Amino acid sequence: MTSEGTSIDSTKPSIARVYDYLLGGKDNYAVDREIGDVFKRDLPGSVAIAFANRAALTRAVGEIATTTDITQFIDLGSGLPTADNVHQVAQLYVPESRVVYVDIDPQVLVHGRALLEENDRTRVIEADVRDPEAVYDHPETRALIDFERPVAVMFSAVLHHVNDEEDPAGIVRYWRDRVPSGSLFFVSHFRSGDNPETAEAEKVLQKTFGRGRWRTDAQIAHLLDGLEILDPGVVPASLWRPQTAGKAWNDSGERELTVWEQLIAAGMARKA
């Protein structure tokens, strides 16, 4: 866990910075690129997971902004700012949209706050997704989010970094119990293919970070217990509503997916 003011350690790899590197970002160090290159070199094609995930998140935000009355987003484990961040997509369609970004990586906090310094409808807070109460009770969260109105809770590529013994379903349940009816939950998650690619990718992440779990569609759906899972269900991210908000954020999903694209799933659920 980190605390406010923790300095950036460029000698240890960061999940957020490795992800940034895989997406073509510049906010990473040699130690992050070394891990990223394992995926690029030894697991060719695996970078598709990062891009398929990012595209699904973008579509989900656009879908929420254009088809519902929800204008409040909590992005848990938000990672480093890239193109088409949650607030950029939401505010493109609904300028009054409010977004709270949550992360514990010091570099995410520094870059996020610099990027959003002049945007009074966004906040970047330091908190651990595994401590949802700290997020819920954070003064910045309370300043921006009205929990009397529906909220979009975004778990984009974060719950697979919560190990089984850390109770990822309990984290979702905490938020389910505290947001009002009509709130939406978006989840993207490593999707187990029961194949060598899954095993090798999981091995790399566990060896490097001590976390990173591939789960089946049924296990991912279980994380959303007590919520209504919306069409098309929990599916490969590239097939999750491939065309939304009047724009093709990704391809049509008609082509056959690569084995790597099948290893990231997405789904959205509503609290009744």
- CA dist 160 and 49 (Å) reads 13
Give the closest residue to 133 by CA, choosing from 112, 102, 97, 154. 102
Which CATH number describes the domain made up of 15-270? 3.40.50.150
Question: What's residue 244's pLDDT?
Answer: 52
Question: What's residue 254's pLDDT?
Answer: 57
What number is the average pLDDT over the span 8-32?
A: 78
Question: What's residue 270's pLDDT?
Answer: 98
Q: What percent of the chain has pLDDT over 90?
A: 51
- CA dist 57 and 250 (Å) reads 11
Question: What's residue 188's pLDDT?
Answer: 95
Residues 6+ apart with CB under 8 A from 177: none
pLDDT in tens, 131-186: 999 999 999 999 999 999 999 999 999 999 898 999 999 999 999 999 999 999 99
What number is the average pLDDT over the span 109-124?
A: 80
Taking all residues of the chain, what is their mean pLDDT, rounded to a whole number?
A: 85
Boundaries of every domain in the chain: 15-270
Give kind and range of the element (H or E) at residue 156: strand 152-156
CB 136 within 8 A of CB 115: no
Question: What's residue 143's pLDDT?
Answer: 96
